[in-house]
Amino acid sequence: MNILRALFDFLYGILLGCRHDHQTRPFTIEQQTYKVCLDCGKHVFYSADTMRPLSGRELRRMNAVQSGELKVVPVSGATASLKNDGESRAVA
């Protein structure tokens, strides 16, 4: 019976990936809190305030805040006219 269980776990891992069931305690290094999956080694980012893993949206927002302010540079008239003069070379 153990052989069947091991075979099932192996196939499940190949087809669906790791479930991250076995994780370490939360670590905070350089103002980033995360847990590490002991099976695959993936960092699962974690919120120390809410005591739960961060969603993809929360993780993107955190990275945007840490990267700094996004500056928008206006396009000059010369480069704008070059974009409109040339024909599209896209291949269908």
Distance CA 81, CA 88 (A): 14
Q: Tell me, what's the pLDDT at 85?
A: 56
**What global pTM score does this model have?**
0.53
Residue 80: φ, ψ to 5°: -70, -40
Mean pLDDT, all residues of the chain: 80
Mean pLDDT comparison of 37-41, 62-66, 75-79, highest-scoring range: 37-41
Domain ranges across the chain: 19-68
Residue 36: φ, ψ to 5°: -120, 130
Q: Is 58 helix (H, G, I), strand (E, B) or coil?
A: helix
- Cα distances (angstroms) measured from residue 49 to each of 1, 33, 52, 54, 61: 43, 10, 8, 11, 16
- Give residue-wise pLDDT tens across range 38-63: 988 889 999 989 999 999 899 888 88
